[in-house]
Amino acid sequence: MKITFMGAGSTVFARNVIGDCMCSDVLKDSIFALYDIDGERLKESRTILEAMRNTKGGFGKIECYLGVEQRKEALRDATFVINAIQVGLYDPCTITDFEIPKKFGLRQTIGDTLGIGGIMRALRTIPVMEDFARDMAEVCPDALFLNYTNPMAMLTGYMLRHTPIKTVGLCHSVQVCSQGLLTELDMEDKLEGRKELIAGINHMAWLLEIRDKNGVDLYPEIKGRVAGKMADPDFKDKVRLDYINHFGYYCTESSEHNAEYNAFYIKSKYPELIERYNIPLDEYPRRCVKQIESWKKEYAELLENGVKDHKRSKEYASHIMESVVTGIPYQIGGNVLNTGHLISNLPEEACVEVPCLVNGHGVHPCHVGALPVQCAAMNMTNINVQLLTIEAAHTRRLEHIYQAAMLEPHTASELDIDSIKKMVDELIAAHGDYLPKYH
């Protein structure tokens, strides 16, 4: 069996996911094909993974494929393809996504999922994934494509709507959602045996139900504890707790992400909101710089002291592959098309995040029904942008990029239409060859 990792220069993530596979008796003897366009990063990943493979008993085989000319061979005969690419990296593209909007008075926190940053990231990533899909259709047409790259809903939605490749989008925010909430509200005693239902869209899927091991609804107690945390000046997760106050439900992704998915919290006319809600502006660029530096240090230490043993992480990928190979069922929260109205009050062409059953026949999304109307409405403000960005990428029409930005909640709350269009034009020009030509 062959497992191909696209973007294997993402060494920490490749180590976690491939390391998880090496912890599985079902997967450990696979060929692990590592693909990247950066030779130095690919070499680092191979060094770490070879050491880990030896630590785990020397099973399987690692192969490396460098550059576009070797991409098709990396994919050939793969059973599973894991995608973790970042087109344009932190420098120059993420820097561009933050600095140009800042000139127009538009501030961001993460900029990888929605906002003008998320739109631009999708537009430069989709053409690369189209190339992957063309190669896969030729050399591994039956492979399952596991997408980890953001913006999740836009990229996964594009793959499912405009390519023939079997695709599911994966995000770790689902499996850590309720544990994080109960822990931060000092309700750890309710963790064991809890049952939950999460559905919506990526990074804004709603914790619709949460019950303890005896079936008792935990939301009344959760809501009773929110005010105390909101009054704590050092508490970081205030945006999501504010969602509970105003929309009735908690959502999956962090407050620094959700601060920029709406028109409520980052507002130049209300600068005091930044401090009140502990919103970390420019968080992603800072995080990128720290990650680059910490990886250099960690890599040097690993070369000197050796690779420590890997314990299987909470990432879904290895469990999905194991389930498909063995036929033993496994449940995930997956990003899939809303075909057949899995969520009945969201559009069918939307990419939704819902419970999915995995077995020997693949990934099977579960029907959820209607979201609470206010939750569906919040999701739609993001889905509108996702659908228009996908349309822009598919048609190469500039007007759809403008429209996506005009309908993006945070952007529209800060800028007028003329400024939005000028900002888009500047971003397109700055990204240059990272983007296709639009008309």
Looking at the annotation, which residues are catalytic? 172
CA 322 to chain centre: 22
The pair phi, psi for residue 329, each rounded to 5°, is: -65, 150
- Helix residue ranges, H only, 306-416: 317-326, 373-395, 398-407, 409-414
- Give the closest residue to 410 by CA, choosing from 394, 428, 393, 423: 423
In whole angstroms, give the CA distance from residue 219 to residue 198: 14
What the block records as the tokens of 421 is 């269009």
Q: How do the residues of the chain divide into helix, strand and coil, expressed in percent and rounded to 5?
A: 50, 15, 35
Q: How far is CA 44 from CA 223, 296, 303, in A?
A: 47, 10, 10
In whole angstroms, give the CA distance from residue 148 to residue 380: 22
Instruction: Reduce the DSSP state of residue 130 to 3 states and report it.
Output: helix
* C-alpha count within 13 angstroms, C-beta hemisphere, residue 151: 33
The bridge status of strand 144-147 relative to strand 31-36 is unpaired
* Burial degree of 290 (CB within 10 A; 0-12, 13-18, 19+): exposed
In whole angstroms, give the CA distance from residue 298 to residue 122: 30
The residues, any chain, with a CB within 8 Å of residue 214's CB and separated by 6 or more, are none
Whether the Cβ atoms of residue 334 and residue 317 lie closer than 8 Å to each other: no
- Helix residue ranges, H only, 277-312: 283-305
What the block records as the tokens of 283 is 């968080």
